[in-house]
Amino acid sequence: MNEVSVAEAALNTQGATHDVSAYAFQNDVVRNLICRVGRYPDIASPHDWYMALAFSVRDRMLARWAASTKVYAAQNVKVACYLSAEFLIGPQLGNNLLNLDMGDEAREAMHALGQDVDALLAIEEEPGLGNGGLGRLAACYMDSLSTLEIPAIGYGIHYEFGIFDQVIRDGWQVEVTDKWLQNGNPWELVRPDVSYYIGFGGYTQQQTDAEGRLRVNWIPARQVKGVACDLPVQGYRVDTCNVLRLWKSEAVESFDFQDFNAGEYYEAVQEKVVSETLSKVLYPNDEPEAGKRLRLAQQYFFVSCSLQDMLRLAALKNTSIEHFPDLFAAQLNDTHPSIAVAELMRLLLDVHGLSWDAAWDITQRTLAYTNHTLLPEALETWSLPLFQSLLPRQLEIIYEINHRFLDSVRCAFPADDARATRMSLIDERGDKKVRMAHLATVGAHAVNGVAALHSDLLRQTVLRDFAEMYPQRFLNVTNGVTPRRFLMLSNPGLAGLLDGTIGAKWRADLTELDALAAHADDDGFHEAWRAMRFDNKAALAARIADATGIDVDPNALFDVQVKRIHEYKRQHLNALYIISLYRRLCRDPGLDIAPRCFIFGGKAAPGYAMAKLMIRLITGIAEVVNDDPVIDGRLKVVFYPDFNVKNGHWVYPAADLSEQISTAGKEASGTGNMKFMMNGALTIGTLDGANVEIREEAGADNFFLFGLTAQQVEQAKRDGYRPSDYVKSNDELSDVFSQIAQGRFSRGDPNVFRPLVDSLLQFDPFLVLADFADYVACQQRVSDAWQDARRWTRMSIMNTARSGKFSSDRAIGEYCERIWNARAVRIDLEQR
Ligand SMILES: *Cc1c(COP(=O)(O)O)cnc(C)c1O
């Protein structure tokens, strides 16, 4: 037998790798408990059992991964590489069991071992390797890539500390270090053999090579090593298993004791510590980037590791480097990996010895860029001195790209110096800066926004000059979310009801949910729908009681706003409305209103004082309203702490109303809005991001619309918007402000919310007060609809029925076809 068939025979006799039957699985869990965890069943802790179960699941994924890799290596497939500084993948066990289609067998096996899978799922730590929507999008896309059988690699950073854990103390957010690795991570494989050297600082030298060509040699001052940590990403009900490859930094070489005297020894240890800080911690977003040298170093570190890895894999193919773009497509998730433009050029020029034109052609054909923001303050720039000191060679290359690029601008638009200045990769005003969005746009063959409105605004505003110069390069790919995690896994009640009502076709193609529309007026189905939703709400109520001590009634309308806390997302608009409602009930205690439970969740960036104050306002309102005898439980306000993917599993399926109330023109897409819709929540929202498309799909009758449009927002600003005018002309609103100013929601202290109130009254950059009255009126329409249970249920069903477009499978299909030119490759474990 040759080596390969020996290996296959071993796998087959083990049975472990393919066999998903309960009995084989049970034996495997015990074997893993003893041989990998090192414990006998009678003394094993729940965490030991969790690890044994996770290893047994991982074994099955590794067999599929090996089979996938083998096919990818043997054939000339194109690999889609998704480069992202964040992957907010969420808990893994439940999702992997689902995608392997072995949830029932695992339950049976664990039950036979006296273990409850739900209890084990509950103790799993979530890898919080992202801030919010952008990182979660990357994770949804990895799930869809595997499910659609597209050869793919996710490239990112193995942060030792992910996004902080949030606790609420005295109503304020407190950040706690996320030690997600402290009990080990059973899903990852460290690959010491897959590692690359990454340089920083130093200087460059020019020299002439043997053929008389000018070459540049970069001599970095320091080096670190990037080591691959691989996480398998299993597709749903297919044998494809791709990899998420996260880089962690290490010191280059362990040093030799004999070479050091005592002083040098400690310096050398220090050097090792510094090297390892590179992948230590995820930066929270929404904070000024200023001076974050380590952040730029992180970005370069993971991008260089990833590109070197792709070039190594390409070299295994025995084709010439010119074919690199036929083997790999690299998508840049926002500008965080945009240094890839300069780094791929450097590798092709300095390491592979290509000419500029050949290198540029390969770079452009390989890279594509997804923009995620229109907020000018969120567009990344790096000061030139900082950039120069960290990446001198890459800066030289950026200058050369810019030189050639600006020549082409002047050629296309003669006598328009202002345009060239605007488009330059370097911002020459004041302290000079490198504009990363410009670098990404120039270096990519495709640039996309993430919702139809966002892509339009991108072309009209921040990248207008570029869209005029390269109209073909710009396109839209509306975001999506994975229905595996956000429907099948987190809402099994709904999934079962769907199977029983329209069959299981929706599991392979979410647009099949459309068939649900035929049942939207069926009374029997309404009853089952409401029962399913009640159970989901009762389950969330139990978690809320556990986390906050607040009792909420599952019969109340669950009005939910969960997302990062930010002024543009306008949690304070929601808060002001709650105060106005509360005041109305205080004035008229007999008012007939449907009980509502307002549920908030989300983290504020640690340095974003205004966002932290918004959390305090919400908890302050909760303190007053929840215990007020006049309210008598008709209003409840909850701040559900530590919103993350795991908590989201309980929240999205339990929401009746989805709050998507950002200032129009500010939210690029949103993805929370899609998760809510899929699970049957109705949206109250502005015409912003993907809300526009959600309303189109659901139908205007099944959506609560309010607020200024993006155009009206811009117009109001041009017309000299004066927020205080809105307060003067609205008695309800002025009463709300006077209550806050009196310290009503800050335990009597009138100073606490002053910065928030002053900001709203003086500037209100996100037009909260301009939209207030319309929001209140729209909430009245929500209440009216809710009072008519039949009408509400119908609307809820229609939202799920029309949510098919928002599957990340549709989005990934568009990327494959329109940007990557990537195709499915069938993996069949049985026929290896
Ligand atoms: C989906 C998701 C988000 C994004 O929510 P938006 O409402 O689109 O801002 C943020 N955080 C987590 C944990 C999520 O699952």
Residues of the chain with pLDDT > 90, as a percent, come to: 90
Average pLDDT rounded to a whole number, residues 802-807: 98
Mean pLDDT confidence for 749-778 = 98
Q: What is the pLDDT of residues 649-674, one digit of tens each?
A: 999 999 999 999 999 999 999 999 99
pLDDT per residue as tens digits for the range 110-143: 999 999 999 999 999 999 999 999 999 999 999 9
Instruction: Output the CA 142–ligand 1 centroid distance in Å.
Output: 16
CA of 669, closest atom in ligand 1:
8
Q: Show the ligand 1 pocket: residues with CB < 6 angstroms.
A: 132-133, 136, 563-564, 643-645, 648, 670-672, 675
CA of 681 to the centre of ligand 1 (A): 15
Q: What is the pLDDT of residue 212?
A: 84
Query: Which atom, in ligand 1's list, is nearest to the CA of 569?
Result: 9
Indicate if 14 and 150 belong to the same structural domain. no
pLDDT band at 318 (very low <50, low <70, confident <90, very high): confident
What angle do the packed helices 789-801 and 768-787 form, to 10 degrees? 110
Q: Is residue 67 part of a domain?
A: yes
pLDDT for residue 21:
80
- Residues 557 and 125 sit within 8 Å (Cβ to Cβ): no
Segment 47-60, tens digit of pLDDT: 999 999 999 999 99
Asked about 319 being catalytic, the answer comes back as no
The verdict on whether 473 is a catalytic residue reads no
In a domain, 335, yes or no: yes
Q: For position 3, what pLDDT does the model report? A: 47
The Cα 819–Cα 447 span in angstroms is: 9
**pLDDT above 50: residue 832:** no
At residue 506's C-alpha, the angle toward residues 502 and 507, to 5°, is 125
Residue 287, in any domain of the structure: yes
Q: Is position 562 within any domain?
A: yes
| Helix, coil or strand: residue 68 | helix
Q: pLDDT value at position 214? A: 86
Residues 109 and 6 in one domain: yes
- Alpha-carbon distances, residue 315 vs 73, 237, 311, 320 (angstroms): 11, 32, 6, 8
Q: Which pLDDT does position 378 carry in this prediction?
A: 80
Is pLDDT above 50 for 4? no
Active-site residue identified among 248, 484, 563, 603: 563
CA distance 770 to 317: 60
CATH at 532: 3.40.50.2000
CA–CA dist 77, 826 (Å, integer) = 11
CA dihedral over 683, 686, 689, 693, signed as positive or negative: positive
For residues 656 and 668, state if they share a domain. Answer: yes
Q: Which residue out of 60, 136, 245, 372 is catalytically annotated? A: 372
Residue 805: which pLDDT band, with cuts at 50, 70 and 90?
very high
377 C-alpha to center of ligand 1: Å? Answer: 21
Total-model pTM: 0.96
Catalytic residue among 17, 240, 441, 671: 671
- Each residue of 462-508: pLDDT tens digit? 999 999 999 999 999 999 999 999 999 999 999 999 999 999 999 99
**pLDDT over 80 at 298, yes or no:** yes
Out of 19-28, 38-47, 722-731, least confident range: 19-28
Given a cut of 50, is residue 679 above it in pLDDT?
yes
Q: What is the structure's pLDDT at 254?
A: 59
The pLDDT assigned to 13 comes to 44
Residue of 472 and 6 predicted with greater confidence: 472
Higher local confidence (pLDDT), 201 or 14? 201
Domain residue limits at 55:
1-75+92-125
Q: What is the pLDDT of residues 571-597, one digit of tens each?
A: 999 999 999 999 999 999 999 999 999
At 692 the pLDDT is 98
160 is a domain residue: yes
Paired sense of beta strands 557-562 and 596-601, if any: parallel
**Average pLDDT of the residues of the chain:** 94
For residue 759, being part of any structural domain is answered with yes
The answer on 555 and 503 residing in a single domain is yes
Residues 358 and 431 in one domain: yes
Can you give the length of the chain in residues?
832
Catalytic residue among 18, 459, 473, 564: 564
In a domain, 71, yes or no: yes
**Residue 490: inside a domain, yes or no?**
no
Looking at the 3D structure of the chain, how many domains does it have?
Answer: 3
564 is catalytic: yes
Predicted local distance difference test score (pLDDT) of residue 6: 47
Closest Cα to atom 11 of ligand 1: 132
pLDDT recorded at residue 18: 58
Q: What are phi and psi of 754, to 5 degrees?
A: -55, -45
Across the range 439-464, mean pLDDT stands at: 98
Segment 66-92, tens digit of pLDDT: 999 999 999 989 999 999 999 999 999
Same domain, 64 and 174: no
Best of 86, 87, 88 for a ligand 1 pocket test (most atoms within 8 Å of beta carbon): 88
- The pLDDT of residue 20 is above 90: no
For residues 192 and 218, membership in a common domain is answered with yes
Whether residues 564 and 626 share a domain: the answer is yes
Domain shared by 246 and 364, yes or no: yes
Which of 562, 661, 677, 808 has the most ligand 1 atoms within 8 A of CB, as the residue to mutate? 562
377 pLDDT band, cuts 50/70/90, is confident
Does 133 share its domain with 114?
no
Are 451 and 572 members of one domain? no
Q: Which atom of ligand 1 is nearest to the CA of 562?
A: 7
Dump pLDDT digits (tens) for 500-533. 999 999 999 999 999 999 999 999 999 999 999 9
Starting from the edge strand earliest in sequence, which strands make up the sheet with 596-601, in order? 635-639, 596-601, 557-562, 657-660, 682-685, 704-705
Q: Does one domain contain both 86 and 10?
A: no
Determine the distance separating the centroid of ligand 1 and the alpha carbon of 392, expressed in angstroms.
37
